[in-house]
Amino acid sequence: MSGVVLVEEAPDALDPNDLRSRMNTEACGAVVSFVGLTRETEGDADVLRLEFDAWQDKLTPVLSRLAREAIDHFGVRSVAMAHRTGAVGPQEPIVAIHVGSPHRKEAFQACEWLIDELKKQAPIWKKEVTSEGETWKEGLG
Amino acid sequence: MAKDDNTVGISIMAFGPIAERLGGRQHAIEVPSGSTVREVVEGMDLREWISFGLSVAVNGHRCTMETVVEEGIELALLPPVSGG
């Protein structure tokens, strides 16, 4: 079995650089990263925080499956992914995805595919708490 | 109290907005024997969530709205996901 997967749920804090430092980049010539942050505003409202609920027993298995599919489909070498649960304040990281590959093109493709599929498949639910009230964000999958 | 032979006891596990609406993650309920998942969902006054794209799972495995629930199962109610 080729490829290396590092997947984590981050209940308290997420440090994308730390995750990056722990991923296996053997035989990689490129690492493409995506980091999702909480925006400070939504429309005219100030965002106070996002609150993430998750099916914790299923979250890391789903992320691991997606990582493995990315390795198989795009031929990348290494995938590291982490997603916050709990409350995430403005400008704090929500999700981090790092994709290592011998060459950049497939790493860019795999990274975009991974965040798109995470949004459709990961068992996570997001509530936005703003200065004007609370809203569960509409889901994609 | 003796359990009614015409009912089955199941566990409900709710997430996100449905958990908030039901007032928590875990719930134990009794439903008529032979009930489908759809009937359980409708009986919990969550009918509109079916058209919103509700997914369901029994004992951790995805199932359909027509799956018949059995004694002791855990039914997960999964609104459309919104991670990332």
A139 and B CB contact within 8 Å: yes
Residues of A in contact with B83 (CB under 8 A): 52, 54, 83, 95, 118-119, 122-126
Buried b vs exposed e over A44-82: b needs ≥16 C-beta within 10 Å? eeebbbbbbbbbeebbbebbeebbeebbeebbbbbbbbb
Q: Locate the chain A residue with the closest alpha carbon to B14.
A: A55
| Residues A112, A133: Cα–Cα separation, whole Å | 31
Structural domain includes residue A141: no
- pLDDT tens digits, A78-116: 999 999 999 999 999 999 999 999 999 999 999 999 999
Q: In terms of residue numbers, what domain contains A11?
A: 4-133
Structural domain includes residue A45: yes
Total count of domains within chain A: 1
Structural domain includes residue B83: no
Total count of domains within chain B: 1
Structural domain includes residue A138: no
Structural domain includes residue B33: yes
The reported pLDDT for the residue numbered B3 is 59
A37 and B CB contact within 8 Å: no
Structural domain includes residue B82: no
**Residue whose structure tokens are 């099916």:** A55
B62 and A CB contact within 8 Å: no
- pLDDT tens digits, A46-77: 999 999 999 999 999 999 999 999 999 999 99
Phi-psi label, residue B59: left if phi above 0, alpha if psi -120 to 50, beta otherwise: left
Bridge partners of residue A79, in order along the sequence = A5, A99
**Does the pLDDT at position B2 exceed 60?**
no
The reported pLDDT for the residue numbered A139 is 79
- The domain that contains B67 carries what CATH number? 3.10.20.30
Structural domain includes residue B57: yes
**Does the pLDDT at position B1 exceed 80?**
no
Structural domain includes residue A139: no
Structural domain includes residue B81: no
- pLDDT tens digits, A24-52: 999 999 999 999 999 999 999 999 999 99
Structural domain includes residue A110: yes
- The domain that contains A101 carries what CATH number? 3.90.1170.40
Question: What pTM, to 2 d.p., does this model score?
Answer: 0.94
- Which tokens go with A17? 């650089």
B50 and A CB contact within 8 Å: no
Determine whether the interchain pair A124/B83 forms a contact, defined as Cβ–Cβ distance below 8 Å.
yes
